[in-house]
């Protein structure tokens, strides 16, 4: 039973948060040595990308910005869902000095990498689903091993049956 609980409840939680953390590490690595400037959203694009075996839908945001070297550039960044980003809106842009065309946006959680957003939200889902399951299983186990709890349950069951029989007798 413990193995089943671990596989069905704890493993998905750890896996999802672990993968989310791993993909977020790519973003954190990008931040090292990156410059931060303000940019303006020019367009939001929904695209389909073919990765060799199948296709995936992605969302990119086209942003215009000026580097600290006063070069005006336009680049695209892939985001999870483009929540709150619309043409003309201001956004924080991170770019590498070595290649200022490669950017990341800082505009909230849902505008991060789609993988980070998905695995974090799925981990939260499993956490919200898994904790009540673990609590229920722990209570069921303690009830099954506690003789006083068995007696209480039996008394409650008998009382319920007695009340139900009384209701049936009154309704006749």
Taking only the tens place, the pLDDT of each residue in 142-156 is: 777 777 777 888 888
- The pLDDT score that the predictor gives to residue 112 is 80
**Residue 26 structure tokens:** 């790519």
Phi, psi of 11 (to 5 degrees): -60, -45
**What is the fold of 34-112?**
OB fold (Dihydrolipoamide Acetyltransferase, E2P) (2.40.50)
Residue 124 tokens read as 């939260």
Q: pLDDT digit string (tens) for 109-148?
A: 877 878 888 889 998 998 898 888 888 877 777 777 777 7
**Residue of 158, 159, 172, 141 whose CA lies nearest to 5:** 141
**Which two three-digit tokens encode residue 8?**
């069905």
Q: Quote the pLDDT of residue 6.
A: 75
CA distance 129 to 163: 35
In the chain, where are the structural domains located?
34-112, 131-171
- The residue among 59, 65, 63 whose CA lies nearest residue 45 is 59
Predicted TM-score (pTM) of the model is: 0.63
Backbone angles phi, psi at 81, to 5 degrees: -135, -5
Q: Which residues of the chain have pLDDT under 50?
A: none
pLDDT confidence of residue 142: 74
Both structure tokens of 73: 């550039």
């Amino acid at each position: 039973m413990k193995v089943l609980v671990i596989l069905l409840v704890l493993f998905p939680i750890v896996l999802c948060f672990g993968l989310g953390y791993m993909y977020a590490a790519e973003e954190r690595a990008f931040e090292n040595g990156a410059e931060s400037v303000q940019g303006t959203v020019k367009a939001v694009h929904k695209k389909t990308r073919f990765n060799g075996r199948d296709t995936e839908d992605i969302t990119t945001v086209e942003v215009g910005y000026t580097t600290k070297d006063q070069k005006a550039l336009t680049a695209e960044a892939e985001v999870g869902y483009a929540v709150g980003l619309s043409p003309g809106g201001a956004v924080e842009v991170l770019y590498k000095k070595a290649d200022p065309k490669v950017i990341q946006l800082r505009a909230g959680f849902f505008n991060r990498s789609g993988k980070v957003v998905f695995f974090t939200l799925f981990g939260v889902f499993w956490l919200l689903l898994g904790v009540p399951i673990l609590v229920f299983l722990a209570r069921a186990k303690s009830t099954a091993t506690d003789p006083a709890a068995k007696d209480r349950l039996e008394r409650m069951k008998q009382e319920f049956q007695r009340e139900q029989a009384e209701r049936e007798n009154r309704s006749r």
